[in-house]
Amino acid sequence: MDERHGPLVSCETLFENIEDPAWVVFDCRHQLTEPDWGAKQYSKAHIPGAFRAHVDRDLSGPVGDGRRGRHPLPLAFARFLAVHGVGPDTQVVAYDDAGGAWAARVWWLARHHGHPHVAVLDGGLERWKRLGLPLSSGHERPRRQGAFQGRPGAMPTVDTAGVEAAVEDGSLRLVDARAAERFRGESEPVDPVAGHIPGAVSLPFSGNLGNDGRFLSPDELRVRYEAAGVAVEGSAVYCGSGVTAAQTVLAMEVAGLGTPALYPGSWSEWCRPADGRPVARVGEDGVRRLVA
């Protein structure tokens, strides 16, 4: 394969290569409130040749007692790639219908396992449909077993102890990629406690996209993060459970800012009531206050 693509690839480019056996595509559509919704949608219509990647089962490890959050990093992701035909030179493409919120998990995990040839489909399935490109139904079977043997550890991460230290000494600029109302503590639809990690800045991942559902230009993204005082050196990104935060990591790479650390456990690990970690909320007067 002569040309590599990442962290983004256009619908037009994917269509040009859709029958190339050196390209492997994953459909990552998901809904937190209905875990099997994505599989149903995939069966009805998906990009030809795309395989199903389930956020809970394929892209996350067992939750266990919840100490590592709602979506722990998977233990068998290398095998998942291999059984779907991914080898060291394969171009991997992931897509969803949510601005890369789920697809970026594949991008981040593949990079974390040392695979550089991976991209998120810019504009996702919605743009693919708008362009009138073909769709398939049913399920796809891998054409061959891949030779992927990567190991995790190639992407920067920070654990809870590191975040706790940052809260104390400000050594990390924490970026909260969740919706602003969750950051403020006005609502929390999934986790047991509302609010945010003290000292974090709110930059919802949806703000990385333009009105057409594609990522903003590198210059626009750079302005967004620099205006919030976020630089890659000394920054870490979190969300609800470490999944959608990967879309922000990707956006910062697109902006030319490098690769920030990801907090895999994210808010779902931080806010466990039994652990008693500090929580901040924003009051009606706009002032941040510690509430726990």
Q: Is residue 1 part of a domain?
A: no
What pLDDT is recorded for position 25?
Answer: 98
Q: List active site positions.
A: 239
Same domain, 194 and 248: yes
Q: Is residue 146 part of a domain?
A: no
pLDDT in tens, 130-180: 999 999 999 998 877 778 888 999 999 999 999 999 999 988 999 999 999
Same domain, 90 and 211: no
Among the candidates 110, 130, 150, a domain finishes at 130
Same domain, 105 and 16: yes
Same domain, 108 and 24: yes
Residue count of the chain: 292
Distance CA 8, CA 122 (A): 6
What pLDDT is recorded for position 1?
Answer: 45
Q: Is residue 175 part of a domain?
A: yes
- Residue written as tokens 């210059």? 219
Same domain, 101 and 183: no
Domain count along the chain: 2
Among the candidates 84, 110, 130, a domain finishes at 130
Q: Is residue 31 part of a domain?
A: yes
Domain holding 110, by residue range, is 8-130
Same domain, 190 and 261: yes
Q: How far is CA 272 from CA 62, 122, 238, 240, in A?
A: 17, 35, 15, 12
For residue 213, is it left (φ>0), alpha (ψ between -120 and 50) or beta?
left
What pLDDT is recorded for position 118?
Answer: 98
Same domain, 172 and 285: yes
Same domain, 118 and 193: no
Same domain, 69 and 169: no
What would you report as the CA-atom Rg of the chain, rounded to the nearest whole angstrom? 19
pLDDT of the chain, 292 residues: tens digit per residue = 456 788 999 999 999 999 999 999 999 999 998 999 999 999 999 999 999 999 999 999 999 888 899 999 999 999 999 999 999 999 999 999 999 999 999 999 999 999 999 999 999 999 999 999 999 999 998 877 778 888 999 999 999 999 999 999 988 999 999 999 999 999 999 999 999 999 999 999 999 999 999 999 999 999 999 999 897 778 999 999 999 999 999 999 999 999 999 999 999 999 999 899 999 999 877 777 788 7
Distance CA 76, CA 99 (A): 26
Q: Is residue 53 part of a domain?
A: yes
Same domain, 164 and 286: yes
What letter would DSSP give residue 217? Answer: P
Distance CA 197, CA 240 (A): 11
Among the candidates 113, 130, 147, a domain finishes at 130
What pLDDT is recorded for position 208?
Answer: 98
Same domain, 117 and 165: no
Q: Is residue 138 part of a domain?
A: no
Q: Is residue 89 part of a domain?
A: yes
pTM given for the model: 0.95
Distance CA 242, CA 267 (A): 8
Q: Is residue 207 part of a domain?
A: yes
Domain harbouring 106, CATH code: 3.40.250.10
What is the enclosing helix (H) or strand (E) of 281? Answer: strand 280-282
What are 121's strand-pairing partners? 9
Same domain, 97 and 178: no
For CA atoms 206, 210, 216, 221, give the dihedral sign.
Answer: negative
